[in-house]
């Protein structure tokens, strides 16, 4: 009930406290599960689903958008170049982009 109080009323009370504290919060939640189906099957609380499903954003799995793989790889390489302060950008082996685009990505983006 406490989480629902935070989500619905946007207020908390500290442990051992007696004063209610108002919050200005937004919750961003993500999952790879079908919560709507889980609600129908009684595996997820309907009132929590109702409060979390205010502005859903559906992002297709990486295996369904292989065309994004080259841009993602480039982005991650640039991040590492900056983090490691490399003076030269590493070059990928021939056909590596093609192989990565053909991969099934069972772990989705975490695997990349």
Containing structural domain, residue 84: 62-110
Is residue 57 domain-resident?
Answer: no
Q: Are residues 7 and 47 in the same domain?
A: yes
pTM of the model: 0.60
Q: Give the tens place of pLDDT for each residue, 26-73.
A: 888 888 889 999 999 999 999 889 888 888 888 888 888 999 999 999
Q: Are residues 40 and 67 in the same domain?
A: no
Q: Give the tens place of pLDDT for each residue, 71-91.
A: 999 999 999 999 999 999 998
C-alpha to C-alpha distances, 17 to 4, 6, 12, 46, 108, nearest whole angstrom: 19, 16, 10, 30, 43
Is residue 100 domain-resident?
Answer: yes
In the chain, how many domains are there? Answer: 2
Q: Give the tens place of pLDDT for each residue, 23-35.
A: 888 888 888 889 9
Tokens for 84, please give them: 């490691």
For the chain, the 3-state helix, strand and coil shares in percent, each to the nearest 5, are 45, 5, 45
Is residue 30 domain-resident?
Answer: yes
């Amino acid at each position: 009930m406490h989480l629902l109080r935070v989500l619905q009323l946007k207020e908390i009370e500290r442990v051992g406290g007696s004063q209610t504290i108002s919050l200005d919060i937004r919750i961003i939640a993500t999952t790879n599960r079908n919560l709507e189906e889980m609600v129908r099957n009684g595996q997820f609380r309907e009132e929590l689903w109702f409060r979390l499903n205010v502005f859903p954003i559906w992002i297709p799995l990486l295996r369904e958008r292989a065309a994004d793989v080259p841009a993602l790889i480039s982005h991650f390489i640039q991040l590492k170049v900056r983090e490691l302060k490399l003076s030269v950008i590493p070059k990928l082996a021939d056909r590596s982009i093609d192989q990565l685009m053909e991969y099934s990505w069972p772990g989705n983006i975490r695997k990349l």
